[in-house]
Amino acid sequence: MSKYHELKEILYQINKIKIFSLPYLFDVFEAKSKKERKRLKDIITLMLNKGYLIKRADGIFMAVSKKDKIVHQVIGYENPKKDFFEICQRFEVNPSFSEQLIQESEKTASNPPRVSENRKDFRKALVFTIDGEDAKDLDDAVSLLKEGDQYRLFVHIADVSHFVKEGSLLDQEAFKRGTSIYLVDQVIPMLPKVISNGVCSLHPGEDKAVFSAEMVFDAQGNMLRYQFYPAMIHSCRRFTYHEVESILNTGEIFQEIDASLKPMLYEMKELAQILRKKRIEEGSIDFDIPEPKIICDKKSRPIEIKMAERLFANNLIEEFMLSANRAAAIELEEKKTGLFRVHEKPNEEKLDSFVRVVHQAGFSVGNIHSSKDVQNFLDKMKGHPESYLLNTMLLRTMSQAYYHHENFGHFGLSFSHYTHFTSPIRRYPDLVVHRLLKKLLGFEAGSKEVLSPEFLSDASLQSSRQERVAVDMERAMKKRKAIHYLKDKIGKNFQGIVSGMAQNGIFVSLTEIGIEGFVPRNLFHEFEFDETLNQYKKKGKILKLGTLIKVQVLSLNLKKEFIDFTIAEKL
C-alpha cells in the first residue's frame, strides 16, 4: 500500500477529485492487491461514517470538504427551548408584558360587567364553544334556533372592548402588537393572560360578557337580517372539534349534557352545509391544504409531525364566523366607516405564470381570471396525487390579504364586504371593529378618534405589518422544529414530491409530513436543466413539478434554517 493511504492524504486527494467511483480510487491510490483494496474500502467507510463522503443512489461517491462537513450532524445549538427566544430576538418581539401592564390588566379584570338594559341576558340559553384541544383563548361561542324553514344563528364574541378601553396602556400595547403569535407550542399573546385566557375567555360554567351577532337565514342560506348587541352568556359546554365531529357522524356523546345539545348540533350542520354550498357556488375559493401539525413534548422537543385533519366541525365554525364577519362589514359600510379585511385580485402575470407552469408539469388547465375559475381548477384536481402541491402553488400566486380603512372586497371569499369581528382577544382589528359597532349603534359613547380615517388608517397599517411579522415568525419556528425533528433521521429515506424548480437544484416536499427541503444540483449533475420547460432531463428521464421521488435526509443547518436532501433512488 502506498504512502497515499495516510487518512489526511486520502482526504486531500478525494477532495481534489470530488466525484469518484471505487475502481477509479483503486487506480489513483495504486491499490492493486485484495488487501490494499480492503484497507482503502475500510478507510472510505470510516469517512462515510464521519461525514466526509456521501454515496449517491448511482453508487458514485462525493467528497464534502472539512469546513462544509454537515452530513450526519446538525449545525447550531441543540436545545429546542432556545428557538423561542432566538426567534423573538431576531424579529424584535417582546414575549412578555411589563409589570405596569400586568397590574392594569388585573385591575381591569376585577371589574366584569353585569346584565343591564343595554346587555341582553342569554345565560339560560344553550350556548357552547367549539375549539381545538389546546385552545385557551376561547373568543367565540355559538347557539342556534330553527324557526320553520329559517335559522336564527347567534355568534357570541368575547367583549374585549369592555375591558380594554380606548387609549389605555393595554390598548396601546395591543395596537403595537397587532396580533397574538402562535409559535408551535408557545404563544405570544396580544393581551396579558389574565385578559386573554382569563376574564375574556368564554370558559364553560362562568358568566361572560360578549358582543353578539344575531343573524337570520332562509333555507337557501340568504342572510335576511342581522343585529349586533352586548350580551351575557353562560357557556354550558366546551366542545373540541373531534368531539363534535364524532357526535355528528356517530351520535356518540361524551358528557351528559351532550344529549340535549345534539339536536342543535345537527341543525347547525344543516345550516353550515347550506352556507358553504352557497359560498362556493358564488365563487369563494376553498384551498384544501392540510397543514403539518408539530407535536412537542414538555421540553419543546418535536416528537411527531403529521398532516392536520380537516374536519367538518372546523368548517361549521368557519361558516358561522365568516357570516358574522360579513354582517359586521356590511353594517360598517352602510355607516360609511370601518376597518376592512381586503383581498385583491391576484396579479394577472402571476396567474398566467402559474397556468404555464401547470401546463409544463403535464396538467390541462384553462385560463384563470376569476375566483370561480380558481375553484373550478381546484375541483378538477381533487383526488390527484399532486393536488396538495398544486393547491399550495396556486395559493402562493394569490395576493396577500391586508387591513384597510376603505372597503375593496375580498377576492378569495368572493365577498363584496368583509372584515374581522370574531377574534378580538388575538387580533387588534377585531377590537377596533367592536368599538366602531358599539359607537355607531349607540351602545357606547366612545371617542371621536375611533371613527377618524387617520386612526383607522394607522390601525390598518400597523395590524397588517404585525400580521406579516407573525407569519414570518411562525414559519421560522416551524422550520426549526422540523430540523429538530429530522436531527436523528439523517440518512433516512422519505417519499417526496418535487415542489419547486431552480437552476441550482430542486425543492422536494415530504408527502407524509409536509416538510420541504432542497436537493442541490451537484447531487444529480448528470441532469440538464431546461429553462423553457422548467424541468431537468437525462436520457428520457425527467424531473419536474409533481414528480414523485424518494429522498434521503442529507444535512441540516439550524442557524441558516436549511434542510438538504439527496436523491435516494436510481434515476
E-state strands within 22-86: 53-55, 61-63, 74-75
Work out the number of other CB atoms within 10 angstroms of the CB of residue 253: 15
- For the chain, 571 residues long, give each residue's pLDDT as a single digit of tens: 444 445 556 666 666 555 566 666 676 667 778 877 777 777 777 777 666 676 665 566 666 644 434 344 455 556 777 889 999 999 999 999 999 999 999 999 988 888 777 899 999 999 999 999 999 999 999 999 999 999 999 999 999 999 999 999 999 999 999 999 999 999 999 999 999 999 999 999 999 999 999 999 999 999 999 999 999 999 999 999 999 999 999 999 999 999 999 999 999 999 999 999 999 999 999 887 888 999 999 999 999 999 888 899 999 999 999 999 999 999 999 999 999 999 999 988 888 888 887 777 777 777 788 888 888 888 887 877 777 788 888 888 899 999 999 999 999 999 999 999 999 999 999 999 999 999 999 997 655 666 889 999 999 999 999 999 999 999 999 999 999 999 989 889 999 999 999 999 999 999 999 999 999 988 888 899 988 888 899 888 889 888 999 999 998 988 888 999 999 988 7
The pLDDT value recorded for residue 32 is 75
Q: Is-same-fold flag (3-68; 490-567)?
A: no
490-567 in CATH: which number?
A: 2.40.50.140
Q: What is the DSSP letter of 309?
A: P
Residue type, 516: E
Q: Say whether 212 sits in a helix, a strand or coil.
A: strand
CA count, 13 A, side-chain hemisphere, 367: 4
Tell me the C-alpha distance between 358 and 156, whole Å.
Answer: 43
| Cα torsion through 473, 474, 480, 485, rounded to 10 | 170
Q: Which triple of cell numbers denotes residue 302?
A: 418535536
Angle at 463 between CA 408 and CA 84, to 5 degrees: 140
Q: Are 216 and 226 in contact (CB under 8 A)?
A: yes
Tell me if the domain spanning 3-68 has CATH number 1.10.10.10: yes
Where does 335-402 have alpha helices with state H?
Answer: 348-360, 371-381, 387-397
**How far is CA 204 from each of CA 111, 236, 461, rounded to the nearest angstrom?**
19, 5, 36
Rounded Cα gap, residues 308 and 291, in angstroms:
6
Q: Please give the single-letter amino acid code of residue 539.
A: K
Where along the chain do its domains lie? 3-68, 82-344+399-483, 490-567
pLDDT at 343: 96
Helices and strands, counts by H and E, the chain: 16, 25
How many CA atoms, within 13 angstroms, populate the side-chain half-sphere of residue 315? Answer: 20
Contact 258, 237 (CB under 8 A): yes
Q: Largest Cα–Cα distance of the chain, in whole Å?
A: 100
What grid cell was written down for 54?
456521501
Question: pLDDT tens digits, residue range 494-520?
Answer: 999 999 999 999 999 999 999 999 999
pLDDT score at 445: 66
| DSSP secondary structure letter of residue 116 | B
Contact present, 346 and 353 (Cβ < 8 Å): no
Q: Is 145 helix (H, G, I), strand (E, B) or coil?
A: strand
The C-alpha angle 210, 214, 218, rounded to 5 degrees, equals 155
74-75/548-557 β-pairing: parallel
Q: What angle do CA 129, 135, 137 make, to 5 degrees?
A: 75
The C-alpha cell that represents 37 in the structure block: 483494496
Alpha carbon distance 150, 424 (integer Å): 29
Three state DSSP letters for 438-480:
HHHCCCCCCCCHHHCHHHHHHHHHHHHHHHHHHHHHHHHHHHH
> What's the rounded Cα separation, in Å, for the pair 565 and 571?
15
pLDDT of residue 278: 97
pLDDT at 363 (0 to 100) = 75
